[in-house]
Amino acid sequence: MKLLIVLALVAVVAARPDDEFYDKKYDDFNVDEIIENVRLLKAYAHCIIGDGKCTPEGNDFKRWVPEATKSSCGKCTEKQKVLVAKTIKAIKEKCPEEYTTLIKQLDPENKYADDLKNYLAKYGH
């Protein structure tokens, strides 16, 4: 019985490798529409923080942001890395209170600050 449980766990891990990307349907997501509208940008920020309503896309982002923050968007496609970096940079510049709250939630010990800074420098153009 224990062997069956171990084999089942191995099958689950093998079926979903760690290097899997997020859904590629977001490769062409129009992030400029969000970052050019401060009201909309704040709404997405509050969704991710957990104190606002979420769109279906916002719910996906809310689930992915913690892992993406810790891995410099390691499961993102190259296009998604640019979109995420542009969004984070816009929140940082246009919604500083929300950015501070988000960073305190995602990285309370400031472990990933340098990684985030490098990630934004590389992809946030």
Give the pLDDT of residue 45. 95
Handedness of CA 8, 77, 56, 102 (dihedral sign): positive
**Residue 76 and residue 68 in contact, taking contact as beta carbons nearer than 8 Å:** yes
Higher-confidence position of 110 and 27: 110
Output the pLDDT for position 4.
29
CATH of 20-123, one of 1.10.2080.10, 3.50.30.40, 1.10.8.350, 3.40.250.10: 1.10.2080.10
pLDDT (mean) for 64-83: 86
**Residue 5: its pLDDT value, please?**
31
Contacts of 107 (CB under 8 A, 6+ apart): 69, 70, 113, 116
Residue 82 has pLDDT above 60, yes or no: yes
- pLDDT of 10 strictly over 70: no
Give the Cα-Cα-Cα angle 56, 23, 87 (nearest 5 degrees): 65
